[in-house]
Structure 1
């Protein structure tokens, strides 16, 4: 008789401890690959056809070495020291290297953290291409009237996506008094509309478009914008226009602020490594599917940054990080989606390279023993 007993369900940690960086590895890793158990989630449905990621040929990736902060490292150093949980390296749309750690597999759905922000703003581009949002220069209150009279009265869609609203925000997820942690508590409470109400009451520190300040709260308003403009939940809009058309292998999932409520646009997507890679390749290709543009002309270049904000060059675009603006290594226009604890979709359009990185570092930020950008930049050179 065969044993049909299901494997034991992994134990996950608390969401507060996860964000604060207070989980030991044995609890952190199962939590990161089971995030859909932390909050109600909505599925992001794949389509009927899977597009295979062909394995490419070239120099053995395991032989690559690179320099970072004056030291020489190899692939094994980077994976071990940076607590890499999964990595996928693609060149010209083909897989050149794929590796998993900590029991993860090609079927594992891993947390995105703030990589979800870049996906959310991409959906704004899709909505503009479809005429559902007229322009990035539209006033936000045109779509979300409840923001009228508050700190977001003068904020445009563009300034929202650039995180240049001028509204007060502290992003430190380890600080229990920060706005970021306050929004997390509202998410834990699961009250519909509570996060929008909180954002509406924040104080204004500077006119819109004059000051850059990283804010996960801004991305929640991107989710509100998408729902208002499209009439669909962001997960359903993502599924219909991207996930089902890009040949994804698996359904993904997206956290909700309340049961059957709005998605947490700044975080909470869980997907497989290869499907993150397919999304990255779509962006690398300029937002085209089967020869048809899904994003407006020039959208990817503008979204990638860097951006001039009131005379200051900021290594940021529409919730994407500009690599060239950040470390000055390349003129290739490389950029990335990033999430705390070391999540990343690195894209170099000039070299047609996409790299997806999952990590399980001990703290949300500042715990990067070997610079991930140095690894990604060196990978581009190695694959040339």
Structure 2
């Protein structure tokens, strides 16, 4: 009986602190693809001119009916549903070959991107370079965030952030409520959190996957835009020009003067996520209009192992075999692009299930 007052006190403190980082972490109990409901956001509005893929009759489309996985042959639909998939699209030659939704989700369902937003942030950096808001990826970050000079980060460049080789100390764990990932995801003052960044190693010497790098990249982008929000820039440069079918949003740290969570948290539908892949499949060109430079797309998807880089990651995109690449997010969100086959695959899910999705997507693509 003595334990009950302690438990109630802890519960009371948690509920009272639900607006703070740790309280929100405990209350919401780890990330979920419905987390767009719990954060403030800025809207992305689709245009009256919508781009639609071609469609084909399912019995004529080249789609897998069964799949061999871990030594067993199962129906493809059942395999996807059993492994917590909520949306799966295969698009080839601008034609939807396969599109199905599972586990209570449908075409109109909003799904949080998680780290697929990192790749979108990279596209916007490319646009900012094209527009002259950013001069070069070799610029020091302190040109835009001068307060970091006092923290010993004057050698860190925009390219280091893009490559995740900044050397900035970052605790990436998503299960530690006191870690950096939790601070950025559940915290309510990203700018303050970013101002506390410290170096851990010399920049450009080691790849280390870091949401901290992408969030700082977001602050650089915001400062470069000189008054326009990151969401407004995304709306202007990508959402409307690509003819997205639905409105969407980008989650913020707080309602008033909030900063976009650029390491995560674009909230959209599966078809519209696929159009990010189509943009890169066509080297930044959208039906005759160059949205982001072809050079940026090529640089973003070409391996570079110099200066501490790795051959499987470039400018916030994951690189795979056969020249393929992907935007990848927590819980198994993927925009997978296989250029030589003019193929885009989108997989969105409640979690990974029991599947190594990057390997499976590559296998599907190579045999398509």
- In which range does the TM-score fall when normalised by the shorter chain? 0.7 to 0.9
> Residue by residue, what CA displacement relative to the aligned partner does 1:180-203 show, whole Å, maximum 9, x if unpaired?
1233342xxx2xxx3233233233
Corresponding residue for 1:9?
A: none
**Gaps (5+ residues) in structure 2?**
1-22
Q: Is the alpha carbon distance of 1:18 and 1:120 closer, same or farther for their aligned partners in structure 2, counting shifts above 3 Å?
A: farther
- TM-score w.r.t. length of structure 2: 0.86
How many residue pairs get matched? Answer: 342
8 Å contact kept, 1:342–1:359: yes
Aligned 8 A contact 2:81 2:102 in 1:
no
Contact 2:119 2:317 in 1 (8 A): yes
8 Å contact from structure 1 (residues 15, 38) kept in 2: no
Instruction: Tell me which residue corresponds to 2:201.
Output: 206
Q: Deviations over 1:4-59 (max 9, x none)?
A: xxxxxxxxxx962598558xxxxx5xxx24x3321111001211111111114654
Q: Report the CA distance shift for 1:204/1:99 in structure 2 as closer, same or farther (over 3 A).
A: same
Secondary structure of 1:250's partner? coil
Displacement, 1:69? 5.8
Partners of 1:311 and 1:285 in 2: CA distance: 29
Unaligned runs of 5+ in 1: 1-13, 23-27, 325-331, 362-366
- Counterpart CA distance in 1 for 2:223 and 2:308 is 33
Asked whether the 8 Å contact 1:305–1:320 carries over to 2, the reply is no
Residue 233 (str. 1) matches residue 196 (str. 2): no
Displacement of 1:170: 1.7
Whether the aligned pair in 2 keeps the contact of 1:64 and 1:382 (CA below 8 Å) is: no
Asked whether the equivalents of residues 93 and 342 of structure 2 are also in contact (C-alpha less than 8 Å), the reply is yes
1:372 Cα offset (Å):
1.2
Q: 1:1-384 counterparts in 2 under 5 A?
A: 16=25, 21=30, 32-33=33-34, 35-56=35-56, 58-66=60-68, 74-76=75-77, 78-186=79-187, 190=188, 194-231=189-226, 232-260=228-256, 261-310=258-307, 313-324=310-321, 332-361=322-351, 367-383=352-368
Q: Following the alignment from structure 1 to structure 2, what is the Cα–Cα distance between the partners of residues 51 and 312?
A: 37
Q: Using structure 1 for the length normalisation, give the TM-score.
A: 0.82
Alpha carbons 1:81, 1:370 under 8 Å: kept: no
Root-mean-square deviation (Å): 2.3
Q: What SS does structure 1 have at the residue aligned with 2:77?
A: helix
Q: Does 176-185 or 83-92 show the bigger shift?
A: 176-185
Instruction: Tell whether the 8 Å contact from 2:191 to 2:259 is kept in structure 1 after alignment.
Output: no
Instruction: Note closer, same or farther for the CA distance 1:288–1:73 as it changes in structure 2 (3 Å cut).
Output: same
SS at match of 1:108: coil
SS of 2:103's equivalent in the other structure is coil
Distance 2:61 2:86 in 1: 23
- Provide the residue aligned with 2:9 in structure 1: none
Task: Say whether the 8 Å CA contact 1:128–1:135 is kept in structure 2.
Answer: yes
Q: 2:89 touches 2:345 (CA, 8 Å); kept in 1?
A: yes
Distance 2:316 2:202 in 1: 20
- Residue pair 2:170, 2:210 contacting (<8 A) in 1 also: yes
C-alpha change, 1:376 and 1:17, in structure 2 (3 Å) is farther
